[in-house]
Amino acid sequence: MAPPLLLLDDIRLTFGGTPLLAGAGLTASAGDKIALVGRNGSGKSTLLKIAAGMVEPQDGTVFRQPSATIRYLAQAPDMDGYATIRAYVEAGLGPADDPHRATYLIESLELDGEASPHNLSGGEARRAALARVMAPEPDVLLLDEPTNHLDLRVIEWLEGELARTSSAVVLISHDRRFLENVSRAVVWLDRGTTRRLDKGFAHFEEWRDKVLEEEEREQHKLGRQIGREEHWLRYGVTARRKRNMRRLGELQSLRERFRSHKGAEGTAKLVASEANESGKLVIEAKSIGKAYDDVPIVRDFSTRIARGDRIGFVGPNGAGKTTLLRMLIGDLPPDSGTVRLGANLEIATLDQKRAALDPNETLAHFLTDGRGENLVVNGEERHVVSYMKDFLFKPEQARTPVTELSGGERARLILARILSRPANLLVLDEPTNDLDMETLDLLQELVAGFPGTVLLVSHDRDFLDRTVTSTIAPLESDGRWVEYAGGYSDMLAQRKEAALTAKRANAPKAETKGKPEAAAKPASSSRKLSFKQKFALESLPKRMADAEKSIADLEAKLADPALFARDPAKFNAIAADVAKARDGLSAMEEEWLELEMLREEIEG
């Protein structure tokens, strides 16, 4: 096994009398791709800051390889003091680092290097911060919520970059698909301690559930053992006093173990307050359009949304998802076309920027709108503290100002408020940001089972696949939007099929382009494939299968976390072989597709 570049062992840290970390650990070697997971507030970001040297633990061992470079991506990067984005990114480079790497990342992340970093959107700031920490190709890369505010195109690009890098990567993210595609190991931070699974995130939830079940069984066995010992002390045969005292001491130890055990943290209870049923037709849009400064954002878009539909909106940042959504619910008038809203609509909205939150307002005041200590949820009057517990807030937080909440707590607070209001149309703009896995699961169940209608903007591919009935996405950058049946993966499949169909339709035209005399002649019934073409058509599927197996074998070698540390030249050579094999496979697929279309044309 490769020596660790980073080692944290038995880390302990207490804030305000409550232990946050009570024996946590983390080890990262060259090539490791580690997902650090846990509930909101469990200490994940704090552990990552300790690894980066930004926070000192009260106890425990912290080892960083002296020659190793470590870069940390914060949730809120500080760009003060830099005149341009390029200056900010290049400040992350060391004396021996390649400055062209910074240029490559700025261009790949579609940033303007000469722009000021002080007026960036959330997505642009996140991309600039990623470019800065990735530019030096550090030995250890610590990423805290790297996908927040990124659109799907950039998330998929980032997945590819992290898969190719030889850096050890430790990342915190709420995006399941991202974690599944990047991670090869999982460190679970739970109740102050850590456990490690040397498999990717796809295996985590099954493993976690088994660990919790085994823990529950052990606690049950301990309770029964205490009961037996107490019975012996009361009714057993009197033995030597010394032996009695020993067993009494053991009983006290067992009781202490039983009392000190902290069970798994509770889960939030997400239940939407139901309003009267809306009409069957919820929204009808006919040929709506919107443009800013003569740039079309939405062009000639029509849709009918019925009661019970769950519609997902996806697309790059700035494509106009929120603009289209606001037009559909009547918040923004279209420049052209009409929008008709159905009868009896009661709308609850979660906006992307959490604008409804006043940082100086207390949790209780925010949930009740300042109307005393109670609120009505689903026709039942409840005390605000009782309702807060459903969303994992502690009673003492009722008087806490919003400004002191973490990002995840703010997301839960907004959800608590909108779900307490009667609604039959939920409008959720990036609802998954900052939520932990358990709360995401419950939100997913809520959206999937909501009896009304849901309009949902999200970059979380897994969440979209599990919840929505159709997906609306931009076709090009000219304002055209298309609705697809199913979730994100269904949309990709339909787009791929449409592209293949268009290619087949255009193939005969491409062959006759520039040859009008050939186009004018009817196809000869005697036309057939050449021997060479027939041989290629028959042999290509086996060659493609062999190429796929070869690529899989090479990628399995690259997956060895110790390979880069042991033999960097071999690692780079295999990576080059993988790229070459993929190019060859792509060429074979293209050739086979062209021959197959030609065969269909002749036979047809």
Among 93, 91, 155, 84, CA closest to 123: 155
d(CA 496, CA 296): 25
Which segments are annotated as binding site for ATP?
38-45, 315-322
Q: Distance between alpha carbon 53 and the CA centroid of its chain, in Å?
A: 26
The amino acid at 88: Y
The answer to whether the CB of 110 falls within 8 A of the CB of 48 is: no
603 burial class (0-12, 13-18, 19+ CB within 10 angstroms)? exposed
The amino acid at 499: A
Q: Which residues contact 298 (CB under 8 A, 6 or more apart)?
A: 288, 289, 290, 320, 323, 324, 327, 334, 479, 481
The answer to whether the CB of 482 falls within 8 A of the CB of 475 is: yes
d(CA 565, CA 568): 6
Planar angle of CA 426, 431, 436, nearest 5 degrees? 135
d(CA 163, CA 161): 5
Which segments are annotated as binding site?
38-45, 315-322
Q: What is the distance between the terminal CA atoms of the chain, rounded to a whole angstrom?
A: 60
Helix or strand run (H / E) with residue 284? strand 281-292
HEC string of 514-560 equals CCHHHHHCCCCCCCCCCHHHHHHHHHHHHHHHHHHHHHHHHHHHHCC
SS3 state of residue 468: coil
Q: Could you write out the DSSP letters of every residue in 333-373? A: --SEEEEEE-TT--EEEE-TT-TT--TTSBHHHHHHTTSTT
Q: Which two tokens stand for residue 334?
A: 């279209």
Strand pairing report for 380-383 and 374-377: antiparallel
Gyration radius (Cα) of the chain, Å:
29
